[in-house]
Amino acid sequence: MDELILNQKKRDMLKKTVKKQIGKTTHVFQLQAENLHELIMESKKMSFPDVLNCNNCNSSDLILDANKAKSHNFTFIRCLKCNSKVHFSNPKENSDVFYLKTRVQKNDGLEIKVLDWRNTTNEKV
Ligand SMILES: [Zn+2]
């Protein structure tokens, strides 16, 4: 009986496909929620744009990568050519939300936000 209810509930879930292009690869994420509001809220958790090229060497050989440290989990985009990385950040108060770190860069006197690519060649991966 419980299983039947669970299955019924699963059928009623709304689904949404979110595609994010990282380098040459298109990553397809299937989201689901019980109603439209929850579904849109779910999609907002992946609050980052497509990233086509490394900001340091312009390569499109990029991968989504992650590793675990003692106190923190790291998720990032890594350039396979020059090993630069741009990290995802997730605010502690809502740790399911991910966005890419940015920094302010001056461009002709204007301050613009750019992705915070860091070259990590000398760091341990
Ligand atoms: Zn690169």
Give the tens place of pLDDT for each residue, 102-115: 999 888 889 999 99
pLDDT in the model for residue 3: 61
Range of the domain at 111: 2-119
120 CA to middle of ligand 1, Å?
10
Tell me the two tokens of residue 49.
Answer: 């744009």
- Which regions of 23-61 does DSSP assign to beta strands (E)? 25-33
64 domain residue, yes or no: yes
**pLDDT tens digits for range 59-82:** 999 999 999 888 888 899 999 999
**pLDDT tens digits for range 33-55:** 999 999 999 999 888 999 999 99
40 domain residue, yes or no: yes
124 domain residue, yes or no: no
pTM for the predicted model, two decimal places: 0.78
95 domain residue, yes or no: yes
Around ion ligand 1, which residues have CB less than 5 A away? 54, 56-57, 59, 79, 81-82, 84
102-107 and 110-115 beta bridge pairing: antiparallel
66 domain residue, yes or no: yes
57 domain residue, yes or no: yes
d(Cα 91, Cα 118) in Å, to the nearest integer?
20
Instruction: Tally the domains of the chain.
Output: 1
35 domain residue, yes or no: yes
118 CA to middle of ligand 1, Å?
9
125 domain residue, yes or no: no
